[in-house]
Amino acid sequence: MSRKRIYLVSGISLIVALLTWRAYPVYLFFAYADGSTLPAKAWIELPPNAPQEQVAGQEAYREVGASLMLQMDTHRIGIGAAAISAAVLIGDEVVWAGASGWADIENRTAATPDTRFRIGSTSKALTATGLARLIEVGKIGLDTPLSTLWDELPNPAWSEMTPRQLASHMAGLPHYGENTDWRGLLHTLVLRDHFDSVHDAVLLFDESELLFEPGSDFFYSSYGTVLLSAAMSKAADVPYLSLMQDLVFDPNGMTGVVVSASNPASQANMSIPYHHNNKLGDELRLRPWRNVDLSHRLAGGGFAATSTDLVKLGRSYFIDSNPDAISAKISNEMWTPQVLDSGQVNEQGYGIGWRVREEEFLPGQHFMQVNHGGVSRGGQSWLMLIPQEEMAVALNINGRTDVFWDFGSFSYEIASAFLARKLALAEQSMQTSQTGIH
């Protein structure tokens, strides 16, 4: 073969290799989304007789937690998850944490209360808590225009946007699929690059057009939370992660919160994220999710944590149990459904980084609850605070269900059981006090 032909063949081969290297992750994105065209690899059967572990912080709640373990495992099997984890905080104390199933099926590693899971958009509640702390110390205001924080904004159309609009999804920013910045859209498919700085991550959507005038409508956007994290960093003049560590994680003892690693096996106590074959029962099969880097969406969907870590976030808000909690004035603002320029409440009743609901957890008894759920690659998460009773409930799995609430519904069973016990203990204490008086 002539030297010229060798050069030509080598050049073509190199181009094909580069195109394949870039295209293969895109193929994997659609393959895992669809599930029908996944690359050849052995599927794993969910082992029977899964291990279980629970930790009770207070003897008074031990029996309640123990009674939930079998139900939780039944729920896990019913939704086809390898592992499930839950925790409950009352006041300042984690009164119970439990886990059932497998953090790693192939290596027969049991899930424990110390197992981390990808928490997806539950990350937004963590970021909102950091925002509340910055508001408290006067570093930023909910209605501070972004133009006052940047010398030069990456996109001039963002100049009048505010943290309130970003945190409540009313800023007009796109979500992943609506991003018209080609670099960002490609990264959403490839998920290969790592971002150490939230300011670098902002450049993935800085050329995307706004969906509407800020404040005029609602559109759920994780990119809005990414931009919010950059605004928080600018306001505090420290990196976003350092800010979160100092203001949220360390004060609450949330020692297990980490940036979700691209390769979960490289991270201590990290569950393997699984993809399932869309079948249940004896036909259910699982396989590890492809490695993905979620650092570009950190503030809005890139953290990993234990269920115990998540419920400890309640310490930031529960004033009766924590003298250093966020003031009622600020927390109430965070938990107020935000209003569009038209005067209407946004369509999801979304507050500042939290969704707000009222639930009848016990017959005839309604409680306000604030929550955020998350869906990630091979993970689902749910965090719920019940401020009236200073209770927090978290639930996590290392898998995904087609309908989110098929997973999250068990959190209501947990909340109902622990609320009933808490109120019964309060009634007993009151009766004892009255008996002592007489």
**pLDDT digit string (tens) for 187-224?**
888 888 999 999 999 999 999 999 999 999 999 999 99
Give Cα separations from 379 to 115, 162, 165, 400 (angstroms). 13, 31, 28, 6
Give Cα separations from 8 to 14, 22, 100, 141 (angstroms). 10, 21, 57, 60
Retrieve residue 121's tokens.
């958009």
Q: Within the chain, how many helices (H) and strands (E) appear?
A: 14, 14
Q: How far apart are CA 278 and CA 285, in angstroms?
A: 8
Task: Count other Cβ atoms within 10 Å, centred on residue 174.
Answer: 21
Low-confidence residues of the chain, pLDDT below 50? Answer: 7, 9, 11, 13-19, 21, 27-30
Q: Is the distance from CB of 256 to CB of 116 less than 8 angstroms?
A: yes
pLDDT of the residue at 286: 94
The amino acid occupying position 416 is S
Tally of residues, the chain:
438
DSSP 13-55: HHHHHHHHHHHHHHHHHHHHHHSSSPPS---EEPPSS--EEEE
Handedness of CA 199, 202, 203, 204 (dihedral sign): positive
pLDDT of the residue at 19: 45
Q: Residue 46: CA atoms inside 13 Å, Cβ hemisphere, count?
A: 29
* Domain 127-241: CATH superfamily, name plus number: DD-peptidase/beta-lactamase superfamily (3.40.710.10)
Distance in angstroms between the alpha carbons of the first and the last residue of the chain = 107
Task: Give strand pairing partners of 274.
Answer: 288
DSSP 99-119: EEEEEETTTTEEP-TT-BEE-
H helix intervals, 386-409 = 404-408
List the domain boundaries for the chain. 1-35, 54-120+255-437, 127-241
Q: Is the distance from CB of 38 to CB of 280 less than 8 angstroms?
A: no
Kindly tell me the burial class for residue 27, based on how many C-beta atoms sit within 10 Å of its own C-beta (0-12, 13-18, 19 or more). middle
Task: Count other Cβ atoms within 10 Å, centred on residue 131.
Answer: 31
Shared fold status for 54-120+255-437 and 127-241: yes
pLDDT of the residue at 190: 85
pLDDT of the residue at 187: 84
**pLDDT digit string (tens) for 263-279?**
999 999 999 999 988 88
Give residue for tokens 């670099």: 183
State the Cα angle at 313 between 298 and 396, rounded to 5°.
Answer: 65
- Note the Cα 297 to chain centre separation in Å: 11
The CATH architecture one would assign to domain 54-120+255-437 is: 3-Layer(aba) Sandwich (3.40)
DSSP 8-state symbol, 276: E
Q: Is the distance from CB of 97 to CB of 253 less than 8 angstroms?
A: no
pTM: 0.90
Kindly tell me the burial class for residue 406, based on how many C-beta atoms sit within 10 Å of its own C-beta (0-12, 13-18, 19 or more). middle
